[in-house]
Structure 1
Amino acid sequence: MLTLKQLETFVQVVELGTFERASQRLNATQSTVSKRISELEQATGLRLFDRSRRNARLTEEGERLLELAYSTLSDARRILELKARPEHMLHRVRIGFTELAALTWLPGFLRDYTTERPDIRLDITIEMSRTLYQQFQDGELDLVVIPQVPDAFAQPGVETQLLENVEMAFMAREGLVEESQPIPLSALERYPLISQGKSSGFAQDINRWLSHQGMSAATLTADNLLALVGLVTAGRGISVLPKRCVQRLAHDQGLEILETIPSLPSIGYHALYHGGVRIQLLEELAQRLAAAADFTRPFFLSERKAQTI
């Protein structure tokens, strides 16, 4: 059986050059040191030292083992330090966000939260909501911030926290839609509808709602939100977009909001996280996310410019 004592003895013999010096450092007999090295060679099937020489000279196999021995002993020390110094434990949380969060409040949250909680390391994934939800189900993410997924609320062991209801609106380039507002949805059928693809949770919710209202599916898709806004700005069609965020994002770009009958529903963005032994940590993080969430202001707009929009 391979043991840490064998690896420690091996490292000491290498560093001090002889079995005799290693036995003195380890406060053990020379025969004990020799026995540990023999047991290590038997456990690994490797010949570690060239015993034809007076000093303990490593073989090529011993050289390869030495690097792994250092790494293993270092990891073992860190494990033992967890109990001795619990205040220095680093909690790793794998967390996923959609593009809308990344464009708005996420950078500010990360800046503040990492300062407040240096004991927590957030591993961030930015993806489409359907992909994030699948990774969450597969156990690859601990917490995700995505539009409401009805299936998730029925799953045992999944906790949810509402962050914000995001107001949605039809938008188009000024002058593209000539009808007087508010516009019946049926009147918008003559304009190309641009939407995010099937991997977008909010696009799927909106498309489902539009289908119930009798509207046709989108004729053009763009998974990237900024690309979608660009297509609308270029006059290629109309789209359902996060109202206040895009208003600020597309300031001076000639976009207008189309008031419709009926008006569009808001989309609820939730934090989903797994229950279990870390539920308190994840619950506190979800509450902190809820306090920071503001899907209305692109992070790269200056405060003064945002206030004038």
Structure 2
Amino acid sequence: MLTLKQIETFIQVVELGTFERASQRLNATQSTVSKRISELEQATGLQLFDRTRRNARLTTEGEQLLELAYKTTESTKRILELNNKPEGTLHRVRIGFTELAALTWLPGFLRNYTTERPDIRLDITIDMSRTLYQQFQDGELELVVIPQIPEAFAQPGVETRLLEEVEMAFMAREGLVNGPRPIPIGALERYTLISQGKRSGFAQDVNRWLSHQGMTAAIQTADNLLALVGLVTAGRGISVLPKFCVQRFAQEQGLETLDTMPQPPMIGYYALYHSGVRISLLEELALRLFDAADFTRPFFASEKHFIRG
């Protein structure tokens, strides 16, 4: 069986040049040193030293093992030092968010959380919700904040926490959609519907709802939320968007919220995380995300731009 003592003894013999000097450094008998080297050769199946020479000289196989031996002892040293390191260097959490979180409350949360919890390093990924969920399933992310994905709630070992329900609304350039309000959903069929693509969770929720209302799915897509708003602002069509967030950062761009019958459904955003050995840390983080989540306020818009409602 391969042991750390064998590896350490091997390094000492190489560095000091003889079994005798190695035994003195290790405070062991020369026979003990020889025994450890023999056991190391048996465990690895390698001949490490050329024993036809007086001094210990490495074989080619010994040279190859030496490099790995140094890496092994360095890793062991780091493991043993963990207990002496400050708490702040120990916790790394890989976490994913969608663009809507990044445009609203996430920057403020990161600023505050980094100050309050220097012992935790958050590695952030911003992407479409379906991509984030796939990375979550593959173990590349430990926690994701995404719209509800039905299959996630049936997956064993996955914990969920609702952070906020986001009010959605049809939006269009002012004057594009005429007629009395509220507008029957069927009356919107003649307008081009623009949406985020298939990797967007809230776009999929909206498309399912539109299908139940007898409407066809969007015929134009833009994965980037700001680009989508830009297309709507340019009068290229209508879209179902996060109502208050878009109102606040695009109110001077001539966008109109359409009062429809029925109104689009609320979209729930959830924190998903794996249960397991880090459950306490992830639960605490999910609770902090719950306290911070506010999908209505763009982080880059000043207070004077906010519309109360």
Q: Secondary structure at the match of 2:189?
A: helix
Structure 2: segments with no counterpart, 5+ residues:
none
Structure 1: segments with no counterpart, 5+ residues:
none
Shift of 1:240: 0.7
Q: How many residues align?
A: 308
Letter in 1 for 2:174: E
Whether the aligned pair in 2 keeps the contact of 1:297 and 1:306 (CA below 8 Å) is no
Structure 1 length-normalised TM? 0.87
Residue equivalent to 2:8 = 8
Shift of 1:49: 3.2
Letter in 1 for 2:114: T
Shift of 1:86: 8.7
Residue equivalent to 1:211 = 211
Residue equivalent to 2:101 = 101
Structure 2 length-normalised TM? 0.87
Letter in 1 for 2:218: A
Residue equivalent to 2:287 = 287
Question: Residues 142 and 12 (structure 1 numbering): CA distance in 2 closer, same or farther, change over 3 Å?
Answer: same
Output the CA distance in 2 between the equivalents of 1:199 and 1:257.
25
The alignment status of 1:240 with 2:236, answered yes or no, reads no
Shift of 1:193: 0.1
Residue equivalent to 1:253 = 253
Question: Residues 254 and 60 (structure 1 numbering): CA distance in 2 closer, same or farther, change over 3 Å?
Answer: farther
Output the CA distance in 1 between the equivalents of 2:121 and 2:11.
33
Q: Secondary structure at the match of 1:241?
A: strand
The alignment status of 1:221 with 2:221, answered yes or no, reads yes
Letter in 2 for 1:225: L
Letter in 2 for 1:182: P
Shift of 1:265: 2.0
Question: Residues 137 and 54 (structure 1 numbering): CA distance in 2 closer, same or farther, change over 3 Å?
Answer: same
Residue equivalent to 1:141 = 141
Give RMSD over aligned pairs.
2.6
Output the CA distance in 1 between the equivalents of 2:31 and 2:283.
56
Q: Secondary structure at the match of 1:256?
A: strand
Question: Residues 105 and 207 (structure 1 numbering): CA distance in 2 closer, same or farther, change over 3 Å?
Answer: same
Letter in 2 for 1:7: I
Q: Secondary structure at the match of 1:15?
A: helix
Residue equivalent to 1:64 = 64
Moved over 6 A (4+): none
Residue equivalent to 2:35 = 35
Question: Residues 270 and 287 (structure 1 numbering): CA distance in 2 closer, same or farther, change over 3 Å?
Answer: same
Residue equivalent to 1:173 = 173
Question: Residues 230 and 307 (structure 1 numbering): CA distance in 2 closer, same or farther, change over 3 Å?
Answer: closer
Question: Residues 46 and 157 (structure 1 numbering): CA distance in 2 closer, same or farther, change over 3 Å?
Answer: closer
Residue equivalent to 2:264 = 264
Whether the aligned pair in 2 keeps the contact of 1:82 and 1:88 (CA below 8 Å) is no
